[in-house]
Structure 1
Amino acid sequence: MSATEKAVLDAVPTGLFLGGEWVASSTGATFEVRDPATGDVLTSVADASPEDGVRALDAAAAAQDEWAATAPRVRAEILRKAFDLVQERKEELALLMTLEMGKPLAEARGEVAYGGEFLRWFSEEAVRISGRYGLNPEGTGRMVVSQRPVGPSYLITPWNFPLAMATRKIAPALAAGCTVVVKPAALTPLTTLAMVGILEEAGVPAGVVNVITTTSSRGVTEPLLADPRLKKLSFTGSTEVGQGLIRQAADRVLRVSMELGGNAPFVVFEDADLDKAVEGALMAKFRNIGQACTAANRFIVHKDVADEFAAKVTERVTAMRIGRGTEDGVTIGPLIDDRAVESSLALVADAVDRGATVTTGGAAIDGPGSFLAPTVLTDVKAGSEILREEIFGPVLAIATFEAEDEAVALANATDYGLVSYVFTEDLARGHRMIDRLDTGMMGLNAGVVSNAAAPFGGVKLSGLGREGGLEGIHEYLSTKYTLIPVS
């Protein structure tokens, strides 16, 4: 470990943040955080108990009324200051992310820029929460429609984008006037801890933001969902876990937003600009080492251009440099752990057994760390598991089609509906695909769609609600209607 890496790690708080104070777990327990590129222990952090989770909610509930009454401009200025601090410390935050998650440093810098934008965007939205006022149709009264903060919110974030997933939830909640309890993933808690430290420095009052790190997610979460003081749950993660959380939240009719799994189709028509499509494919598939819910999962390519597309993609993927994300020129870092490597290889093996061809990669890389060679599969047959399951790894699987209706049917043949990608130079066809593909987001001749100013979310088993955009703050607001009779 270099001196710079050690200095960055030493600066990260490792306790729980409850009521404005960094404290140890009530049991004194800790757990280790490891570098997936080497397997080495980076540091240890507090392992919260269920009692600690309740203490976090105690603090959030106690601070709620005062934070809700805080002027929107004050809330906005705090978020804006946090944005500025993130920009000042972008190199430290990027390195921290690379150390605990493994993504290449260049991509980590991109996440800092992207994640920081949610702080800036919602600082601006905090002062634009609107309502309406007007005469009712009968002329008997004035209608006042106002927005109020939902209240204390529980935010569960995943391991794959540890900064952006935190800011994407924390920023709109604070902008709306809600206090929060944040539970980052145990695999990558350090970036969130550093981010909460920045929020504290930016002036967030005690109790408004609380963070609990734990290896007992269910044990900590269940009592919070049952507590009547909690008003909102926001979760990003697997569909299976999200479904379980929705069931638990149903008993109290708890307001929820869910950003769940994906199985994104990437459709390339015969008239596509293939160079543009290849660039889009590399971004949509290999960004974050394929470990993104927005990652393209099924490449559905017209048979007339499939061979050329596969050849171009294979050439580019073969040239990718694999290694620890801190090394210069690395484009593919490690997967999060060995189980992720095994899962991806099982999907590759199933596809090959059914007749697919590996044109590059297809194997784990020996040595320390959880590395998988970036892989391209061609001639993937219908019925292959890789076409049904989310890969979450650097594996690009190509199937073919002949007609537009067939492409639409293949793209929609999934229970998921987060994002889709379409490459065509036919504008009319592009508009048809916008209407016909069952996804909450779509990239038309674009391989990356995420933006803080845009609503992020899906349909079907990909989730409920939206994050980002004008819509994002409304996940943390409730609508109140008041009638004032005309005298």
Structure 2
Amino acid sequence: MLYINGKWIQTENTFEVTNPATGETIETISLGGKEETIEAIARAKDAFKQWRKTTGNQRSNYLKKVVQLMNERSDMLAETITKENGKPLADAKSEVASAINYLDWYAEEAKRIYGDTLSPSHPDKHLMVIRQPVGVCAAITPWNFPLSMITRKIAPALAAGCTVVLKPALQTPLSAVKVFECFHEAELPEGVVNLLIGAADEIGSEMTSSPDVRKITFTGSTPIGKKLLRDSASTVKKASMELGGHAPLIVFEDADIDEAVQGVMQSKFKNSGQTCISTNRVYVAESIADEFGEKLAEKTSKLQVGNGLQDGINVGPLINENALKKVKEQVEDARDNNGKVLCGGKEADLNQDVNGHFYEPTVIQYANDQMRIATEETFGPVAPIFTFKDEDEVIERANHDSYGLAAYCFTQDLGRGLRMMQELDYGIVGINDSLPIVIQAPFGGVKESGMGKEGGKYGLEEYLEEKYVSLSTK
């Protein structure tokens, strides 16, 4: 189902949304394409003329209405996420809370858009910098966080005075439909928010080529991000790109081993490892590597795999067959390169009538740089343990040539922690903290992991442009 100019639209072209835990069809939805995209952009452009003139308080009140509606429907929203994404219901509930918090935060930030007065270089001039909304924004969101990624983009855009055309991932469109129902019931003006569900190439090409779209924001893979940037070059759009990650987690010999093991558990296996900031490479000092591996494998082997709607499930399915295939190939490659599987290491057999895409949470000891997993993002529940001798070595190996989204370090040495904060070439660094993401902080990477930030005041600035005004007082 599409939402354009304040109206729900159905088309003849449809798509079946399936549950990755069971393979069952959840719902059949309408799809849009080029024609609907052109229409949505035009309506967003028309709506921008008035939406940009609303006060911060007015925009704040609209967002607060959406917050109230989503709070009332939080259980239903979480169940929708689990059905179409597969993550355990407890994780889905956390995502709903995060999605609501983004809306709530930017409802307040809408009232805090400030300008500057500059010291003039001439007595007859008054110099000002004002901040204005960039215009129509095209947002493309991923399947791994199908609700919170939407509000993390739409909330600051609306707070800044922009209008939005959103394309969610085709695997998980139902969460988007549910949140747009809240936008509709909050009575946002027609055309301020628009929802397109359909083929990425058809919708994306119109978004990137349209001169009426002044900003594009995307969360997804690095290759797709590069394509969007190339395709947007002809119209020189503002862009925010949150792209792939290959996060290292470093454990020094002075670290609290139990705390570090828990850090890997929290970072690696949430959402079945299908998270851009998920730990992908665990570097452990040689002197403690065996003990660390034993403890990590012991905890990992106790994780319960299954349908996220069932009680006590820690790890749900991978999103599709291709994702499962990639994980299986990386583990086999690790075995071929002398890796030792301490636990897991195979597709999970849950004896279900309809089997989903499940893989056992896996720990691999004796990982090395010849393995594919050392250079390729896994996006699955596999933790490879590499060893290192000293600080200089691990910094060089942890700093990836291309990736630069998130990194983690466990140490009890304050000086070392400060050095790692400086030396790790990543947009996000957690020191003794595997859960660093909060609403008020900037989220984003460096190098080929992205450009621009989301979250806090930094996320709002991505939807604003500075205009310099020089006023003669003669």
TM-score, L = length of structure 1: 0.95
**1:93 maps to what in 2?**
77
Task: Point out 4+ residue stretches in structure 1 off by more than 2 angstroms.
Answer: 137-140
Give the 5 Å matches for 1:144-159: 144-159=128-143
Counterpart code for 2:283 = I
Per the alignment, residue 419 of structure 2 pairs with 432
- Note the alpha carbon deviations across 1:180-223, whole angstroms, 9 max, x for none: 00000000000011011111212311110000111x21112212
Return the alpha-carbon distance in structure 1 between the equivalents of residues 233 and 326 of structure 2: 32
CA contact (8 A) 1:263 1:414 kept: no
Q: In the TM superposition, what whole-angstrom CA distance separates every residue of 1:331-365 from its partner, at most 9, and x where no partner exists? A: 01100011111101111111111111000111112
Q: Which of residues 222, 225, 232 is equivalent to 2:205?
A: 222
TM-score normalised by the chain length of structure 2: 0.98
For structure 2, the 5+ residue unaligned runs are: none
Aligned match of 2:406: 419
- Is the 1:135–1:141 contact (alpha carbons within 8 Å) kept by the matching residues of 2? no
Distance 1:423 1:140 in 2: 58
In the other structure, the counterpart of 1:6 is: none
Find the aligned partners of 2:293 and 2:83 in 1 and give their Cα distance: 33
| Equivalent in the alignment of 2:230 | 247
2:379 alignment partner in structure 1:
392
> Cα offset for 1:85?
1.9
Q: Quote the offset at 1:415 in angstroms.
A: 1.0
Structure 1: segments with no counterpart, 5+ residues = 1-14
1-side partners of 2:317 and 2:81: how far apart? 13
Partner of 1:70: 54
Alignment of 1:22 onto 2:5: no
Amino acid at match of 1:420: A
The answer to whether the Cα contact below 8 Å between 2:70 and 2:100 also exists between their aligned partners in 1 is yes
CA distance in 2, matches of 1:29, 1:47: 5
- Comparing 405-414 with 451-460, greater Cα deviation is found at 405-414
1:304 aligns with 2:287: yes
1:373 aligns with 2:360: yes
* Whole-angstrom CA distance in 2 between matches of 1:245 and 1:449: 28
User: For 1:296-335, what aligned pairs fall within 5 Å after superposition?
Assistant: 296-335=279-318
CA contact under 8 A between 2:247 and 2:408: conserved in structure 1? Answer: yes
Relative to structure 2, which stretch is displaced further, 102-111 or 272-281? 272-281
CA distance in 1: counterparts of 2:254 and 2:115, whole angstroms = 47
- The reply to whether residue 105 of structure 1 matches residue 85 of structure 2 is no
AA in 2 matched with 1:376:
V
**Identical counterparts, % of pairs:** 43
Of 82, 89, 102, 1:118 maps to 102
Q: Which amino acid aligns with 2:243?
A: L
Q: Which amino acid aligns with 1:363?
A: K
Residue 24 of structure 1 contacts residue 46 of structure 1 at CA under 8 Å; is this kept in 2?
Answer: yes
2:277 to 294, 299, 305: 294
Say whether residues 1:349 and 2:349 are aligned partners: no
Inter-partner Cα distance in structure 2 for 1:393 and 1:165: 19
Please list the CA deviations of residues 384-436 of structure 1 after superposition, one character each: whole Å capped at 9, or x if unmatched: 11010100000001100010001101110331000000100111111111100
**Deviation for aligned residue 1:237:** 0.3
**What letter matches 1:347 in structure 2?**
Q
CA distance in 2 between partners of 1:116 and 1:391 (Å) = 29
SS in 2 for 1:258: strand
Q: Distance in 2 between matches of 1:177 and 1:456?
A: 21
**1:426-459 deviation line (CA, Å, top 9, x unaligned):** 1111111110000000111111121111100000
Find the partner of 1:402 among 389, 393, 403: 389
> For residue 49 of structure 1, what is the aligned residue in structure 2?
33
In structure 2, C-alpha distance between the alignment counterparts of 1:150 and 1:413, rounded to whole Å: 33
Opposite residue 217 of structure 2, the aligned amino acid is S
Preserved contact between residue 118 and residue 129 of structure 2 (Cα < 8 Å): no
Match 2:465 to one of 478, 481, 484: 478
> What is the CA-CA distance between 1:59 and the residue it aligns to?
1.3
Q: Distance in 2 between matches of 1:140 and 1:430?
A: 52
Distance 2:438 2:64 in 1: 18
1:196 to 2:180 alignment: yes
Which of 240, 243, 262 is the equivalent residue of 1:279? 262
Instruction: Answer with 139-148 or 276-285: which moved more.
Output: 139-148
**Match for residue 12 of structure 1?**
none
Shift of 1:137: 3.6
**Cα displacement (A) at 1:138:** 4.4
CA distance in 2, matches of 1:372, 1:96: 22
Matched, 1:359 2:346: no
Q: Distance in 2 between matches of 1:126 and 1:57?
A: 23
1:140 to partner: Cα distance: 4.5
Conservation of the 8 A alpha-carbon contact between 1:50 and 1:221: no
Matching residue within 18, 25, 38 for 2:22: 38
How much has 1:36 moved relative to structure 2?
A: 0.2
Give yes or no for contact 1:388–1:414 (8 Å, CA) kept in 2: no
Q: State the number of aligned residues.
A: 470
- Match for residue 167 of structure 1? 151
SS in 1 for 2:79: helix
2:217 is matched with: 234
Give the structure 1 partner of residue 44 of structure 2: 60
Query: What CA distance in whole angstroms lies between the structure 2 residues aligned with 1:445 and 1:29?
Result: 50
CA 1:377–1:61 in 2, change beyond 3 Å: closer, same or farther? same
- Give the CA RMSD over aligned residues: 1.0
Q: Find 2:447's aligned residue among 460, 474, 481.
A: 460
SS at 2:280 equivalent: strand
Contact between 1:176 and 1:473, CA under 8 Å: does it hold in 2?
yes
Q: Is 1:446 aligned to 2:430, yes or no?
A: no
Mapped contact 1:17–1:210 kept (Cα < 8 A)? yes
Whole-Å separation in 2 of the counterparts to 1:326 and 1:240: 33
* More moved, 135-144 vs 262-271: 135-144
Aligned-partner Cα distance in 2 for 1:151–1:77: 20
Amino acid aligned to 1:113: A
Residue 268 (structure 1) aligns with: 251
Give the CA deviation at 1:269: 0.5
Query: How far does residue 82 in structure 1 lie from its aligned partner after superposition?
Result: 1.3
- 125-134 vs 362-371, greater mean Cα deviation: 362-371
Q: 2:320 aligns with which of 337, 340, 344?
A: 337
